[in-house]
Structure 1
Amino acid sequence: MSVASDRQTAATDIAIDPAHRRAVWLLLATALLWSLGGLLIKWVSWNPLAIAGMRSLIGAAVIGFIFRKALRFTGSFEQIGAALAYAGTVVLFVVANKLTTAANAILLQYTAPFYVILFSPWFLGERADRRDWLSLAMIVVGMLLFFGDELSLEGYLGNGVALLSGFCFAWLTLFLRRHREESSISALVLGNLLAGLIGLPFMFQSMPDAGGWVGLSLLGVVQLGLPYVMYSLALRHVRAVEGILIPMIEPVLNPVWVFLLLGETPGPLALLGGAIILGAVMFRAVR
């Protein structure tokens, strides 16, 4: 049997695996909860780095309490790497949003799949197939249409920070996938604590009001803690490329919440781009 047919057989086995199917649903649910971030952050009037730090500390406390019996802080290369990549992802994205447009920050962070496809064969022994490349191409076109009116060539520093956030997001996915046989939850707790420490100096400049604390609690538990737990669990049963491509419906869902709750309507090109992204993700999800 040829190598190509071996890969095709393996892909078919994965596609009909119930654990793989459940993992895909976990990834879609993860994207849904991640997409609440834009709306909830608007709810909190506080320094952005303070928000990033506090939601991470809340997330660490909740995850640590729920999974306290499963936590194993081994200090392994994969665990430390995942923690550093996690902290870099969440903190750098907040900084990028301060230095460039939100559209630029989101689009450039989602260069992450290119890094995953580039490093997966060497780091994980997993190669992208033609469906992965086709899905990624469709998503890039959809992203450009979706954010086309808001993209800017200004804010070079912010654009660079957003690219670095995407690089960290890619390595978070790679480390969690490689760390799947150990307690990846422990890496998330460490990453949240590190992000919290980075944001700590900015928390003492002022304090949010009661409504802000509600928003921070939702950010820490619903938008950050729970979805990253689901993400790490899903990566045990899907390849890293799938794990980075399927949640890319998140930027599309973000303005849906804004439309439903604030009445802001996206333009026709954004709707077309969103439809293309959604179609590409569904195409990849059903294999």
Structure 2
Amino acid sequence: MNSKNRGACFILLAVTLMSTGGLLIKSIEASAISIAFARSLIAGCVFLPFIKWKKIKFSKNYIGLIISYTYLTISFVIATKLTTAANAIILQCTAPLWLYMAYLIGGKKKLVAREFIPRVTILAGIIIIFCDPLNASGNVAAIAGNLLALSAGIAYALEQYFMEKKYPMDDITIIGFINFIMAGVMLLFMHSQIAFSGIPAVNWLYLILLGVFQIGISYLFFLKGVRLVSAFEASILSLLEPILNPVFVFFFVGEVPSFYTMCGFAAILCGIILTLIPNKKAVSATQLGENIEMKSERKNY
């Protein structure tokens, strides 16, 4: 097996582990904050042997990454408890829309039909999900969960933005330390909502699985995989998560996504796929630049 295929296998394994989040969160009889706290603390412990403490340095970008990652993780757990697992993960995947809007407002991108249409498709998917009669009937918890999942999508976009920045730390140190910070923040400001007394013994197994495999080991596999395949291929393979997450919940918990959720998911997935299709002109320009660079190197040689 060549390195590219190994990388694809690592990412598929990582995404499959990440996809168990909805199932495990739905199966634990504890508050969302308790689950988020335990998951981050356990994940931090998994990364602990690999954290290079002396290289940790705070900056505006790293603080932004900490805030966006913390909000994303906590809001996703709460949203999964309030609404369906399908809605929670699907609305979180609207990150490309918010990232595009931010670049558009900031003047870093121009309004181009090829980039605009996929985002409108994602927006249409969001509207379809929120038009679900279940929300219109006054289900406050479901509406709150959907709105929280939508805000998680914005946090996910911010996380991607800050992930692109350069840091003097390796990826494992960055993520591992963030999980410890997140656990500390929740313990300091949300300690009254953290409680584990009285939960069934099997729930502790689920919490360990969340921390060790759903976040910890999955990130190790993902980080290893993304170094062996292109960013485009990694993005395509990552689309398996919003597909598997509600599937696992359906088979093991019996939670059935509504017709509106399925239609909205189809629109959002279509928009994301269209977003990931590379621009032929941009690819040609990149290849031309690489060819010129290679010829220049040969001449110098």
TM norm structure 2? 0.66
- Identify which of 238, 263, 269 aligns with 2:231: 238
Matches within 5 A, 1:1-287: 30-65=14-49, 67-69=50-52, 72-97=55-80, 105-106=88-89, 108-120=91-103, 133-141=116-124, 149=132, 152=135, 155=140, 161-179=148-166, 182-200=169-187, 201=191, 202-204=193-195, 206=197, 208-229=199-220, 238=231, 247-262=238-253, 266=257, 274=265, 287=278
Identity %: 32
Higher mean displacement: 273-282 or 110-119: 273-282
Maintained 8 Å contact 1:92/1:162: yes
- Hey, what's the Cα distance between the residues in 1 that align with 2:220 and 2:83? 29
> Which amino acid counterpart does residue 207 of structure 2 have in structure 1?
L
* TM-aligned CA deviation for residue 108 of structure 1: 4.4
- Hey, what's the Cα distance between the residues in 1 that align with 2:79 and 2:134? 14
Cα 1:77/1:167, change in 2 over 3 Å: same
The count of residues paired between Structure 1 and Structure 2 equals 265
Maintained 8 Å contact 2:16/2:244: yes
Higher mean displacement: 54-63 or 199-208: 199-208
> Which amino acid counterpart does residue 173 of structure 2 have in structure 1?
S
> Which amino acid counterpart does residue 76 of structure 1 have in structure 2?
S
Cα 1:215/1:129, change in 2 over 3 Å: farther
Q: Deviations over 1:207-257 (max 9, x none)?
A: 533211110111112212234455566778638xx9878745533322211
Q: How large is the Cα RMSD of the aligned pairs?
A: 4.3
Matched residue of 1:178: which SS? Answer: coil
* TM-aligned CA deviation for residue 86 of structure 1: 0.7
2:284 corresponds to: none
Cα 1:148/1:38, change in 2 over 3 Å: farther
TM norm structure 1? 0.68
Structure 2: runs of 5 or more not aligned: 279-301
Matched residue of 2:51: which SS? Answer: coil
Maintained 8 Å contact 1:80/1:187: no
